[in-house]
Amino acid sequence: MSSDLWGYAFARNAILASTLLGVMASTLGVFVLLRRMSFVGAGVSHAAFGGAALGYALGLDPLLSALVFSLTGALLLPSARGRLLKEDGGVGIFFSFGMALGLLVLGFLRGTRVDLFGYLFGNVLAVDLGDLVWLLATASLSLGFVLAFYRKLLLSTFDPDFARVIGVRVEALDKALLLLVSACVVVGMKVVGAVLVSAMLVIPAATARYLTSSFSGMVIASVVVGLISSWAGLWLSFELDLPSGPAVVLLSSLLFAAARIYRSLMGR
Amino acid sequence: MAEEVAVLAEDLWVELGGREVLKGVNLLVGRGELWAILGPNGAGKTTFLKALVGLIRPSRGKVSVMGLEPSRAQRLGLLGYVPQVAGFDLDFPMNLFEFVSTGLFGSTRPFGPLGRRERTRVLEAIERVGLLGMEGRPIGSLSGGELQRATVARALVLDPPLLLLDEPTSGVDVGGVGSIYELLSSLNVQGKTVLMATHDVATVMERASGVACMEGGRLVAHGRPPEVAVPVMGCLLGGEGSLLFAHGEIPHMVVRRHRGDGP
CB contact under 8 A, B74 and A165: yes
Q: Which long-range contacts (CB under 8 A, 24 or more apart) does B120-128 make?
A: B121/B157, B121/B158, B121/B159, B122/B97, B122/B157, B123/B97, B125/B100, B125/B153, B125/B154, B125/B156, B125/B157, B126/B96, B126/B97, B126/B100, B126/B150, B126/B153, B128/B153, B128/B156, B128/B187
Q: Which residues pair with B192 in a beta bridge?
A: none
How much is the pLDDT for B190?
92
- The whole-number pLDDT of residue A58 equals 85
Do B171 and B70 share a structural domain? Answer: yes
- Provide the domain count of chain B: 2
Beta bridge partners of residue B20, listed in sequence order: B15
Among residues A246, A226, A227, the alpha carbon closest in space to that of A236 is found at: A246
Inside any domain, residue B232: no
Q: Give the pLDDT confidence score for residue A122 in this predicted structure.
A: 79
Chain segment A195-243, per-residue pLDDT in tens: 788 899 999 999 999 998 889 999 999 999 999 999 999 999 888 988 8
Q: Which residues of A touch B51 (CB under 8 A)?
A: none
B94 and A CB contact within 8 Å: yes
**What is the domain extent for residue B208?**
1-78+160-224
Cβ–Cβ gap A166/B103 under 8 Å: yes
Please report residues of B whose CB lies closer than 8 A to that of A209.
93
β-pairing verdict for B210-215 and B218-223: antiparallel
pLDDT at A84: 66
Task: Please give the pLDDT value at position B247.
Answer: 53
Is B184 a domain residue?
Answer: yes
Please check whether residues B174 and B206 belong to one and the same domain.
Answer: yes
**Average per-residue pLDDT for chain A:** 87
Do B154 and B172 share a domain, yes or no?
no
**What number of other Cβ atoms are within 10 A of residue A232's Cβ?**
18
Q: Which of B230, B228, B192 is nearest to B34 (CA)?
A: B192
- Structural domain contains residue B244: no
Instruction: Count CB-CB contacts under 10 A for residue A31.
Output: 22
Searching chain B, which residue's CA lies closest to the CA of residue A83?
B17
Q: What is the per-residue pLDDT for B262?
A: 44
Q: What's the mean pLDDT in A113-141?
A: 84
Q: Which of B98, B111, B154 to mutate to test the interface with A (most CBs of A within 10 A)?
A: B111
Same domain, B145 and B172: no
Residues B165 and B48 in one domain: yes
Do the chains contact at A163 and B105, CB–CB below 8 Å? yes
pLDDT exceeds cutoff 80 at A124 = yes
Last residue of a domain, one of B136, B159, B182: B159
Segment A17-47, tens digit of pLDDT: 999 999 999 999 999 999 988 888 888 888 8
CA distance B90 to chain A (A): 10
Residue B132 lies in a domain: yes
Of B87, B93, B108, Cβ closest to residue A212: B93
What's the gap in Å between the CA of B69 and the closest CA on chain A? 12
Which ipTM was obtained for this model? 0.81
Q: Does A35 touch chain B (CB under 8 A)?
A: no
Give domain status of residue B39, yes or no: yes
CATH code at position B56: 3.40.50.300
> Which pLDDT score is estimated for A113?
60
State percent of chain A over pLDDT 70: 92
Cβ(A52)–Cβ(A116) below 8 Å:
yes
| Digit-coded pLDDT (tens) for A80-90 | 666 666 667 77
Mean pLDDT of A103-129: 76
Q: Are residues B129 and B189 in the same domain?
A: no
CA triple B221-B225-B226, angle to 5 deg: 110
Q: Domain boundary at B137, B159, B181, which?
A: B159
Nearest beta carbon to residue A215 from set B71, B93, B154: B93
Beta carbons of A213 and B95 less than 8 Å apart = yes
Q: Chain A partners of B93 at a C-beta cutoff of 8 Å?
A: 34, 209, 212-215, 217-218
Residue B26 shares a structural domain with residue B136: no
**Whole-number Å distance between alpha carbons of A116 and B219:** 64
To probe the interface with A, which of B46, B68, B92, B151 has the most A CB atoms within 10 Å? B92
pLDDT tens figures, A143-190: 999 999 999 999 999 999 999 988 899 999 999 999 999 999 999 988
Give the pLDDT of residue B100.
Answer: 96
Q: What is the nearest CA distance from A217 to chain B, expressed in angstroms? A: 9
Supply the Cα-derived Rg of chain B in whole angstroms. Answer: 19
The answer to whether residue A3 scores a pLDDT higher than 60 is no
Interchain CB contact of A263 with B (< 8 Å): no
pTM exceeds 0.90, yes or no: no
Tell if the CB–CB gap between B93 and A158 is shorter than 8 Å: no
Q: Which residues of A touch B95 (CB under 8 A)?
A: 213-214
Residue spans of chain B under pLDDT 50: 239-245, 256-258, 260-263
At position A20, the amino acid (one-letter code) is L
The alpha carbon of B66 is separated from its chain's Cα centroid by a whole number of angstroms, namely: 16
Minimum Cα–Cα distance from B83: chain A residue: A162
pLDDT for B257 equals 47
The answer, yes or no, to whether residue A5 has pLDDT greater than 60, is yes
Which residue from A150, A165, A217 is facing B81, i.e. has the nearest CB? A165
Q: Is A266 on the interface with B (CB under 8 A)?
A: no
A162 or A119, which is more confident:
A162
Average pLDDT over every residue of A136-146: 96
Q: Which pLDDT score, from 0 to 100, does residue B261 have? A: 45
Best CA proximity match to A155, nearest among B56, B103, B112: B103
Domain A5-266 has CATH 2.40.37.10: no
The pLDDT tens digits for B38-70 are 988 888 999 999 999 999 999 999 999 999 999
For residues B111 and B155, state if they share a domain: yes
